[in-house]
Amino acid sequence: MSKIKKSNKCNLKETNCAGNCYGCGLTTKGQKRVLLQGNEACVEGGIAAGMRFFAGYPITPSTEVAEQAALRLPQVGGRFIQMEDEIAAMAAIIGGSAAGVKSMTATSGPGFSLKQENLGYACFAEVPCVIVCVQRSGPSTGLPTSPSQGDIMQARWGTHGDHPIIALAPANVAECYSLTVRCFNLSEKYRVPVLLMTDEIVGHLREGIVIPDPKTVEVYDRKVDKSIPPFKVPKGEVAPLSAPFGQGQRYNITGLVHNEKGFPTNSTSVAGELCTRLMKKIEDNLDDIIEYEERHIEDAEVVVVAYGGTTRAAVSAVNAARAKGKKVGLFRPITIWPFAQDRVAEIAKKVKKIVVAEHNYGQLVHEIDLAAKGQCKIGFVGKVDGTIIMPDEIEAEILR
């Protein structure tokens, strides 16, 4: 599985540094250093990846994504539309993608709930699109301006039925840019909706980041094959997209079980083959999809697991504990779904304790516990009162 190792001090003094870490300020020809909010950086990353259509509805704390998209898309020949609600926004980007345009929407908890039915439709119809969820405190209306990571399980299981999903979690503003690019690339490559599960802390954070030279940004564009039906898939491969609607190829898109031309069928053999293929196209490519960061894992007796907005507090806690002579490491899942369970199982064999820190009552901690299989103790630091987790709270659980 892919692995990013980042040391405490950046040592990438190379001309290919894109600034997608905690930032050293290094820039080279074609790059520029800018001050951006995390929500704004998502839009800039989307545009760099080729996003030219955004449909959304304002909701705190994601509204700045829509505002930036409304400003920037017309400047690059794209289109922005404010829909009447979150359900319609999700439907609109499905239509935009089917018309051949890379499409994105953004929302927060209550709106994310509303998107779930159409999100399932996009999964089953294999329509690539990107959904940014800037998580806030809940449930229901909750604390609209307060941080949370309470939508992690909804990201995986929010819509009904067995379905594939990919979800990434940025930990800083630079990753809001770089991971949005990656979201689009994964979405186009595997023909699946991809979620950017950011949170209020990261979404409203402002940092100086390095925007790479657009010519150096790796962009994956969808494969189109008009010579075969849209859902006829060579064994072991992802279905190529059909020609965009209106460009001469006749086919159907539906949320029903469908044949290779997209038309509904009640065939149980087709249903079994289709549903299995949708899951396998993700399961068979975990090495390409799963990404994580590790620090001080080699000698660790205790490992802290954190992601998104809790990462900075976790890094500070790990550094403070190590300064006291404790052998503590950090594991940060960048890809939340599919979950890096094999790597967590390997870590659990070597350590005495894993401490999970997340802004909820306990969601990803259960995946950690399942992967660890009782091989080490599991500690948990969580908050649901709208305040942030502090480094000393994590350190206390490390030392407990």
pLDDT tens by residue, 302-313: 999 999 999 999
> Could you give phi then psi for residue 68, rounded to 5 degrees?
-65, -40
* Domain boundary residue, one of 197, 216, 235: 216
CA 225 to chain centre: 28
Look at strands 302-305 and 328-333 and give their pairing.
Answer: parallel
Do 172 and 298 reside in the same domain of the chain? no
Do 312 and 209 reside in the same domain of the chain? no
> Could you give phi then psi for residue 115, rounded to 5 degrees?
-80, -10
- CA dist., res. 397 & res. 179, Å (int): 30
Do 212 and 297 reside in the same domain of the chain? no
Q: Is residue 6 part of a domain?
A: no
- CA dist., res. 37 & res. 22, Å (int): 14
User: Looking at the predicted structure, is the pLDDT value of residue 5 above 70?
Assistant: no
Q: Is residue 73 part of a domain?
A: yes
pTM for the full predicted model:
0.92
Q: Is residue 176 part of a domain?
A: yes
**Which residue has tokens 């991971």?**
179
Domains of the chain: total: 2
**Which residue has tokens 């990353």?**
45
- CA dist., res. 126 & res. 399, Å (int): 47
Do 191 and 306 reside in the same domain of the chain? no
> Could you give phi then psi for residue 344, rounded to 5 degrees?
-60, -40
Q: Is residue 394 part of a domain?
A: yes
Span 222-279, pLDDT tens digits: 888 788 888 888 666 787 777 788 787 888 999 999 999 899 999 999 999 999 999 9
Confidence (pLDDT) at 24 = 53
Q: Is residue 343 part of a domain?
A: yes
Count of C-beta atoms within a 10 Å radius of residue 217: 17
Average pLDDT, the chain: 91
Do 190 and 54 reside in the same domain of the chain? yes
CATH number at residue 355: 3.40.50.920
Q: Is residue 175 part of a domain?
A: yes
Do 210 and 339 reside in the same domain of the chain? no
3: confidence class by pLDDT, cuts 50, 70, 90: low
Q: Which of 257, 281, 260, 255 is CA-nearest to residue 271?
A: 257
Q: Which of 313, 315, 349 is CA-nearest to residue 331?
A: 315
Arithmetic mean of pLDDT, 59-63: 97
Higher local confidence (pLDDT), 126 or 246: 126
- CA dist., res. 291 & res. 3, Å (int): 5
Arithmetic mean of pLDDT, 63-74: 98
Do 198 and 300 reside in the same domain of the chain? no
* Domain boundary residue, one of 186, 216, 246: 216
Confidence (pLDDT) at 14 = 40
Do 194 and 58 reside in the same domain of the chain? yes
- CA dist., res. 164 & res. 150, Å (int): 20
Q: How far are the Cα atoms of 36, 37, 40, 134, 381 from residue 206, in angstroms, in the given order?
A: 5, 4, 9, 15, 26
CATH number at residue 110: 3.40.50.970
* Domain boundary residue, one of 216, 246, 269: 216
The tokens for 102 are: 């890379």
Q: Is residue 41 part of a domain?
A: yes
The tokens for 395 are: 């350190």
Q: Is residue 275 part of a domain?
A: no
Do 201 and 307 reside in the same domain of the chain? no
Span 329-385, pLDDT tens digits: 999 999 999 999 999 999 999 999 999 999 999 999 999 999 999 999 999 999 999
Do 34 and 161 reside in the same domain of the chain? yes
Do 169 and 307 reside in the same domain of the chain? no
Confidence (pLDDT) at 240 = 74
Q: Which of 133, 165, 92 is CA-nearest to residue 308?
A: 133
- CA dist., res. 191 & res. 240, Å (int): 8
User: Looking at the predicted structure, is the pLDDT value of residue 321 above 60?
Assistant: yes
Higher local confidence (pLDDT), 26 or 199: 199
Q: For residue 388, what are the domain limits?
A: 293-399
Do 301 and 194 reside in the same domain of the chain? no
